[in-house]
Each structure stands twice: as structure tokens, then as C-alpha cells.
Structure 1
């Protein structure tokens, strides 16, 4: 399985979008069922591939502002 940290450093994805609740930044991937943090471009891009496995969200992998 692929680790999130193996995909490189955190890259922001939202372009200024703000949400009232933390949960509004997440959606469920319709292909693998994993929750995706749309603030992280690595996760969004990974889950956009038609064939992919679930990511291992390893410790320290998230560098959200």
C-alpha cells in the first residue's frame, strides 16, 4: 500500500476555500471508500486515478496550516 508521505510534501489545494466545520473539508472517494481531505492536493490527485488503492495516512504526513 502507498503511504501519503511517499507522495511528497504537503501541497495546499483549496485556493482560499474556507469551511465552517472541519468535516466539510472531507469527502468519501467513490472508488475506494476512503475519506479524502480536500485541503491536501496529494490526496485529491491520488483519489482521482481510476485505479488506486487506499492510502496509508502515516503519522506526520499531514502538514495542514
Structure 2
């Protein structure tokens, strides 16, 4: 996955942030809707991926991206 992102409004390179966490310090995770493998999948747990935020230094636009191969 490419790590270079450009702001669609300003046309400048967006800066990758540190991993996004909640107020309580938990890392942000997104459910993929796909069942996890093994016992957890049989119990109804879904796969999760960690998104990364990119922020435009000009306008502050923030976007989240995940690695599609993850």
C-alpha cells in the first residue's frame, strides 16, 4: 500500500499520524464484516483492521485509510 496521500482540496502531501486511540487509550479498530477464523469465528467474532489517519497540514482535512491486504 502506498504511504503517500495527497489532499484532494489543497493538493499537498498529507502527513500520516500516529495510531489513533480512544480517550481511554484503546486503539481504533474497524470490523471488516468477515468472520474470523478458528474458534473466535465460530463464536461470531469478525476480523478487524487498524486504520491510519492522514492529515492535511494546510486545511486540516483528516482521512482514515486501511491496508487492503491486512
Q: Which has the higher strand share?
A: 2
The answer, yes or no, to whether TM exceeds 0.5 is: no
TM-score by length of 1: 0.31
Structure label with greater radius of gyration:
2
Structure having greater relative contact order (Cα 8 Å, sep ≥ 6): 1
* Higher helix proportion: 1
